[in-house]
Amino acid sequence: MSNKKIVKKILPYLMIAPAMVTSIVFLVYPIIYMFYLSFYNWNMIGNKKFIGFDNYVSLFSDPEFMQVLINTCKFTFWTVAGFIILGLGLSLWLKSNTKINRFLQGIIFTPYVLPMVSIAFVWMWIMDTDLGLLNYVLDIFGIDKVKWLADPNVAMYSLIIVNIWKSAGYYALIFLSALQSIPKYLYEAAELDKSQPITTFFKVTLPMLSPTLFFLTLTAIISSFKVFETVNVMTDGLNNTTTIVYYIYQYGFRYYKIGYASAVGVILMLIVSVLTIIYFAVLQKKVHYQ
C-alpha cells in the first residue's frame, strides 16, 4: 500500500478521534465502570471486595428503595403531566403573534434561564411554613397553614410545583413554535368544514403537534427521572421526597457505599432505557410525521 492510500484510510479515523475519545472517556468508560463497581463493596478508600449480586439483592429487599422508586415515579408522572398540559395550554394562549404575547413569552421563559439552585432557594422562602408568601396569601383567605416542605404528604407535590414552574415556559415555547408552523389554511379548511374549535383542536392541531408532543414527553420523562437539585436544596430528601438520583448521591457520597450506589445507578439506567424503548415502540406508531 502506498503512503497516500494509508493516509486516506487513516484520515477519517483521525478526524473522529477527538469525539470518540471524549465519549469513551466520559460516557462509555463510566458506564462500564459503574457496572463493574456494582458487584463490589467499596468505601472509596480501602480495597474493593467482590460480592457478586449482593448489592442488587439488598437493594431489592430494602423497603426504602421501593419507596424511592415510588417517589420518583410519582414525581415523574405529575411533572411530565404538568409540563405538557401547562406548556400546551400556555402556548395555545400565547399563539397569536401580538406585542403583549411576545412580551409574555419572554416572561414565561425566564424561569428556565435561572439556575435551579437559586429558584429552589426562592421557593424555599415562598413555601416557608411560618414566614412564606404562600401561607401568607392562604392566611388572607382564612385557610390554615400548609407545611409545604415539611409535611410528608405535601412535600413531594411542592417539589413538583417548583419543577413545573421552572420549565413549563420552555415547553410552552417549543409547543408555540410547533403551533405556529401549522399552516393557516388547515384552520381555514376546518372552518369551511364547520368544525367547532374543540374538534379542530383534537382533529387538526393535536395530530399536527404529535411529533413535538412525542419528543417533549420523552425528554421530560427522562429529565424528571434524573431530578436532583430541587430535592437536594429544598428537602434534603426528607419527608418522602427522596428520588433515585438523590438516593444514589446519599449512598455514594454520604455513606460511601460506592458499590451499592452503582447498583442503583445501573437500575436507573435500565428503567430509563426500558421506558424509552416502550415509548418508542408504542407511541411512535401514533405519531404523524410529514
Partner 1 sequence: MEHKIELKNIEKSYDNEPPVIKNLNLNIEEGSFTVLLGPSGCGKSTTLRMIAGLEQETKGDILIHGRSMKDVKPGDRGIAMVFQNYALYPTMTVKGNIEFGLKNSKVPKEEREKRIQEVSKSVGLEEYLNRKPGALSGGQRQRVALARAMVKHPEVFLMDEPLSNLDAKLRTQLRSDLIELHNKLKATFIYVTHDQIEAMSMGTHIVLLNKGKIMQQGSPWEIYHNPDNVFTAQFIGTPPMNIMKTQEINYEHTSFAEAAYMGFRPEYGVILQDGKLPEEKGLVMKGKVITHEMLGTETLYKIDTPHGRIQVKLFDDSQAVDGQVSLFVPHEKILYFDAQEQRLR
Kindly list the residues in this chain that would bind partner 1 in the complex (CB under 8 A).
183, 185-186, 188-196, 199, 203-204, 207-208, 210, 288, 290
C-beta of 118 vs 181, nearer to partner 1: 181
Contact 72, 225 (CB under 8 A): yes
CB of residue 208 to partner 1, shortest distance in Å: 6
In 3D, which of 183, 168, 182 has the Cα closest to residue 89? Answer: 168
**122 versus 287: smaller Cβ distance to partner 1:** 287
Minimum Å gap between C-beta 280 and partner 1 is 19
In the bound state with partner 1, the residue whose beta carbon lies nearer, of 32 and 186, is 186
Minimum distance between the CB of residue 7 and partner 1, rounded to whole angstroms?
46
| Residue 192 CB, nearest approach to partner 1 (Å) | 5
Shorter beta-carbon distance to partner 1: residue 210 or 219: 210
Report the run of H or E that residue 4 belongs to, with start and end: helix 3-23
- Alpha-carbon distance of 173 to 105, in angstroms, equals 7
Nearer of residues 153 and 290 to partner 1, judged by Cβ? 290
CA dist 39 and 260 (Å) reads 8
For partner 1, give the closer residue by CB, 190 or 244.
190
Burial class (CB in 10 A: 0-12, 13-18, 19+), 226: middle
* Cβ 258 to partner 1 shortest distance, Å: 50
Phi, psi values for residue 174, rounded to 5°: -70, -40
CB of 18 to partner 1, least distance (A): 40
Contact criterion met (CB below 8 Å) for 264 and 247: yes
Query: Please, which residue, 159 or 190, has the CB nearer to partner 1?
Result: 190
C-beta of residue 155 within 8 angstroms of C-beta of residue 71: no
* Rounded least distance, CB 203 to partner 1, Å: 7
Please identify, using beta-carbon distances, which residue of 193 and 236 lies nearer to partner 1. Answer: 193
* Smallest separation (angstroms) from partner 1 to the CB of 183: 8
Distances (CA, A) of 279 to 125, 249, 286: 38, 28, 11
Q: How far apart are CA 283 and CA 67, in angstroms?
A: 28
**DSSP string spanning 71-118?**
HHHHHHHHHHHHHHHHHHHHHHHT-S--HHHHHHHHHHHHHHHS-HHH
What is the CA 273 to chain-centroid distance, rounded? 14
